[in-house]
């Protein structure tokens, strides 16, 4: 299937590693012109060079902290200048969720929760707010917000709160921008293999005296497919949502975690 992404102009925040990097790669492979944004410019440039070399596509790197209004505004302005416009926004700049040292409500520090919301929820809002006028001016665009399956379970208060909030942001953006040609969706990855997965598996294997294959299964084998999801598999979902082919999906949440036993979402 031709995803009709050739020549589309995309920005992926948090694009220097993990799921964001996999998304940037997939978009470039489909012919999109891509800007990846990260806090660390050196890491971003290294990733952009690697992706451009591997895909033969156009990939640029810019530095930005999405917790800062002015830096986000400058990021979008610079991306538009580099690409000559903007069609696709993938919001992915957030740190992995961490379990509190003290479980339950006692372990939820106010400053930590506020930082999580500022980074993921308000950070995504900043990017969407700066980018939306460019997408609306095109009469076509896509915004895909990367959230997480913590939105659908009580794993931790910060994890659930930030991801539910991103889903709510997505629906509000879709209702406003959908009639103007801009589809907005949210993707909920579950356990996904990234650069840090190997460390977690090795620690589990050493602690329990089991093989790394057994440790990975114990940590990440609870989905219906029985294994961890690869970052490239999440990227394939996002790339479809970024394409004109996804016009029938707007304002909705797409789970990309391999399936959760027992839950019904409708």
Burial of 140 (0-12, 13-18, 19+ CB in 10 A): middle
Other CB atoms closer than 10 Å to residue 203's CB: what's the count? 12
- What the block records as the tokens of 6 is 């050739």
Return the pLDDT at 107: 85
160 Cβ contact list (under 8 Å, min separation 6): 150, 151, 153, 154
Residue tagged 């200048």 (tokens): 81
- What the block records as the tokens of 83 is 């690409």
pLDDT in tens, 152-194: 998 889 999 999 999 999 999 999 999 999 999 999 999 999 8
Domain parsing of the chain, residue ranges: 9-191+231-256, 196-227
Architecture of domain 9-191+231-256: 3-Layer(aba) Sandwich (3.40)
Return the pLDDT at 217: 95
Work out whether the CA dihedral 50, 54, 56, 57 comes out positive or negative.
Answer: negative
Q: Are 168 and 145 in contact (CB under 8 A)?
A: no
Q: Are 244 and 6 in contact (CB under 8 A)?
A: no
CA distance 183 to 143: 6
Report angle CA 190, 146, 27 to the nearest 5 degrees: 105
pLDDT in tens, 98-129: 666 777 888 889 999 999 999 999 999 999 99
Return the pLDDT at 67: 96
Counting as low any pLDDT under 50, the low residues of the chain are none
Give the HSE-up count for residue 20: Cα atoms under 13 Å, Cβ half-sphere.
Answer: 29
Return the pLDDT at 97: 66
């Amino acid at each position: 299937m031709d995803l009709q992404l050739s020549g589309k102009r995309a920005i992926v925040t948090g694009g220097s590693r993990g799921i964001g990097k996999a998304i940037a790669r997939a978009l470039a492979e489909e012919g999109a012109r891509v800007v990846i944004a990260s806090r660390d410019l050196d890491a971003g440039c290294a990733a952009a060079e690697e992706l451009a070399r591997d895909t033969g596509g156009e990939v640029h790197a810019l530095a930005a902290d999405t917790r800062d209004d002015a830096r986000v505004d400058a990021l979008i302005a610079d991306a538009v200048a580099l690409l000559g416009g903007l069609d696709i926004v993938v919001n992915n700049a957030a740190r992995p969720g961490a379990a509190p040292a003290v479980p339950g409500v006692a372990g939820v520090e106010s400053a930590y929760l506020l930082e999580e919301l500022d980074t993921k929820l308000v950070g995504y809002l900043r990017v969407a707010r700066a980018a939306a006028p460019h997408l609306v001016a095109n009469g076509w665009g896509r915004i895909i917000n990367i959230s997480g399956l913590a939105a659908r379970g009580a794993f931790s208060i910060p994890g659930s709160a930030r991801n539910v909030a991103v889903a709510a942001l997505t629906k509000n953006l879709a209702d406003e921008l959908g009639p103007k040609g801009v589809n907005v969706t949210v993707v909920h990855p579950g356990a996904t293999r990234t650069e840090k997965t190997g460390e977690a598996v090795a620690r589990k294997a050493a602690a329990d005296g089991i093989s790394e294959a057994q440790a990975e299964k114990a940590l990440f084998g609870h989905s219906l497919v029985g294994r961890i999801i690869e970052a490239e598999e999440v990227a394939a979902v996002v790339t479809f949502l970024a394409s004109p082919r996804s016009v029938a999906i707007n304002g909705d949440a797409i789970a990309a975690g391999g399936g959760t036993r027992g839950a019904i979402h409708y």
